[in-house]
Amino acid sequence: MADDMERPRGRAAAGLTRRAALKAGAAMAAALAAAGCGREASRGAPSGPDDLARLDATALARHIREGHLTAREAVEAAAARIARLEDRLGAFAALDVEAALDRLDGADPAAPLYGVPFAMKDLNEYPGLPFRRGSALFRDAIGQTMTAYTARLDAAGLVTLGKSQTPEFGLLPTTEPLAYRPTANPWALGHSAGGSSGGAAALVAARILPVAQASDGGGSIRIPAACCGVFGLKPSRGRFPDQGTGGRAFDLAVKHAVSLSVRDSAFLLALTEREDGPHAPVGFVAPAALAPLKIAVSLKDGAGRRPDPAVAAAVEEAARLLESMGHEIVPVETTPYEFPGGADAFNAVWAHGAAQIRQLAAQLAGAPPERTGVLEPFTLGLAAAFDALGETGLAEAVGLLDRFAAQTVRWLEDYDAWLTPVLGAPPVRLGEVAGDVPFDALVERLGRYAAYTPIHNVAGTPAMSVPFAWTEDGLPVGVQLSARPGADALLLRLAYALEEARPWADKIPPLAA
């Protein structure tokens, strides 16, 4: 169990993937120009390293395409940023710039994102790169297989420099694997970058990379995006290859990215989405005027708790801004968060995953992981929780999650979007929700801190974290907007509007390129 513990499926139709990427890229370039998103290209070449680091992936690819710099220069500039900042950031689980440059020599210069430096989250296999999954259990593992989803990222022209850090098996909302270095928050190095895509979000926030691959099985795109002040969309369930397409709430995990700009997220969504999924492909979503929407807004979690005042203030301010744009804001007190037993059922599914990991660890090591020490205390605690539950309890939990999902989708039919916190508090300090905190205390902390995001994994609904506010101490606070299954385009257009009204790309953390 983890955010995207993918099953290898071989090199699926690489030629077809490349042709589809080129066709999609040409169509999107035209849409970007028509939407007025091409203004960076008219400014000529970036004037220096600082200017280059501020570019999003779309602009960087355009500069490469127009000859203002080469793809190799773009990758080498990213490598220089890594050399300068990574010792303090701890965002990479593995790095191999030379191998990336070798792959670049064989890449297609016509690919839509050709030459853009990129990182793959270390819950995804990538041939030739370590595949540790944040765990000592796989300290020596090397990726062997290219999945259909990863092949689409390669076909887009992205240059994978390495693997971004993740907590053990993606199980926690912080990136502090006990076997490796923790990832620091670029806004305050003593604070968490979130998880489980914390390494990815830290790399984008620090302007080392413009975009990085991420995944979300309970908030793991949205939480680090909120912690690091970057944009993070969790798409609808079934949008991508290598993922379940059914309506079962058991299929929690979704792949996508964290990015500096909304358009990069929209671009990557169009380049990687499947054509035969449960929802019609969205294609490239450009900025566009929105008719007035009916947007629910709520603050309480499933236990009736309000978030930290700084988080509540950000949500309330976002609601006022959306109302000033002409949308109808509807404060609601009764929400799907209150579904009886929903949180316990979600935890049961995660505990089942941890029990499977424990069994695998025993098989690989020839001894129980409680003796070998290859698994973290929290992973073992979750596995023990499943022992008390059993397969019958798991079946009951999955059935409950299906009802929870159906109720959430029905509730959303009354609204176009739903505005809530992403987290119950601003980014916590490193160590507060790490895997060696005593199990019962950690579960209680997680229930307060990360209560707002899992519902959308259960329901399969799209949801996003939008950078919106900063605390007095300079820590980012994101707000979450969600919508009915398949309404990814609506959320992206809302994000564009918020990005224009409250730009975040010019807010630079203290540790940044």
Highest mean pLDDT among 3-12, 41-50, 84-93: 84-93
Tokens of 420: 């809530």
CB neighbours of 497 closer than 8 A, spacing ≥ 6? 287, 290, 325
Examine the residue annotation and report whether 220 is marked as an active-site residue of this protein: yes
476-482 and 463-470 as β-strands: parallel, antiparallel, unpaired?
antiparallel
pLDDT band at 241 (very low <50, low <70, confident <90, very high): confident
Structural domain boundaries, residue 163: 14-336+411-501
pLDDT digits (tens, 9 = 90+) for 380-395: 999 999 999 999 999 9
Q: Look at residue 230 and tell me if it is in a domain.
A: yes
Range of lowest pLDDT (48-62, 219-233, 258-272, 421-435): 48-62
Give me the mean pLDDT over the 75-104 stretch: 98
CB-based contacts of 236, cutoff 8 Å, min separation 6 = 254, 278, 279, 460, 461, 462, 485, 486, 487, 488
How far is the C-alpha of 79 from the C-alpha of 86, rounded, in Å?
A: 10
Q: How far apart are CA 330 and CA 296, in angstroms?
A: 5
121 is catalytic: yes
Give the pLDDT score at 10. 36
> What are the phi and psi torsion angles at 182 (to 5°)?
-75, 155
- The whole-angstrom separation of Cα 473 and Cα 408 is 35
- Which phi-psi region, left, alpha or beta, contains residue 366 (left: φ > 0; alpha: ψ -120 to 50)? left
Quote the pLDDT of residue 12: 35
Do 170 and 4 meet the contact criterion of CB atoms below 8 Å apart? yes
Residue from 164, 215, 220, 236 carrying the catalytic annotation: 220
Decide if 359 is inside a domain: no
Residue 40 lies in a domain: yes
Q: What is the pLDDT of residue 242?
A: 75
Count of all residues that appear for the chain in the document = 513
The overall average pLDDT reported for the chain is 92
Mean pLDDT of 467-483: 98
- Examine the pLDDT at 353 and tell me if it is beyond 80: yes
Residue 47 — pLDDT band, cuts 50, 70, 90? confident
Is 341 part of a structural domain of the chain? no
Helix locations, 121-261, DSSP H = 148-155, 198-205, 222-228
Confidence of residue 45 (pLDDT cuts 50, 70, 90): confident
State the pLDDT at residue 49.
Answer: 80
Q: What is the pLDDT of residue 244?
A: 62
> Quick check: 245 pLDDT over 70?
no
Contacts with 171 (C-beta within 8 Å, 6 or more apart), sequence order: 1, 2, 196, 350, 353, 354, 378, 379, 382, 435
% of the chain beyond a pLDDT of 90: 87
Whether residue 204 is predicted with pLDDT greater than 70 in this model: the reply is yes
Indicate the number of domains in the chain: 1
Is 326 domain-assigned? yes
- Tell me, yes or no, whether 445 lies in a domain: yes
Q: Is the pLDDT of residue 133 over 60?
A: yes
Q: What is the DSSP letter of 251?
A: -
Query: Stretch 408-432: mean pLDDT, rounded?
Result: 98
The pLDDT-based confidence of 369 (bands split at 50, 70, 90) is very high
Note the maximum CA span of the chain. 63
Higher-confidence residue of 37 and 176: namely 176
> For the domain that residue 227 is a member of, what is the CATH number?
3.90.1300.10
So what's the pLDDT on residue 482? Answer: 98
pLDDT of residue 25: 58
- With bands split at pLDDT 50, 70 and 90, how would you rate the model's confidence at 15? very low
- Give the pLDDT confidence score for residue 19 in this predicted structure: 56
Considering the domain boundaries, does residue 357 fall inside one? no
Angstrom distance (rounded) from CA 105 to CA 116:
13
pLDDT tens digits along 146-175: 999 999 999 999 999 999 999 999 999 999
Report the distance separating Cα 282 and Cα 488, nearest Å.
7
* Residue 177 contacts residue 168 (beta carbons within 8 Å): yes
Q: Is the pLDDT of residue 42 over 60?
A: no
* Residue 117 located in a structural domain: yes
DSSP calls for 78-129: HHHHHHHHHHHH--EEEE-HHHHHHHHHTS-TTSTTTT-EEEEETTS--TTS
Asked if residue 89 lies in contact with residue 206, where contact means CB atoms within 8 angstroms, the answer is yes
Active site residue 298: no
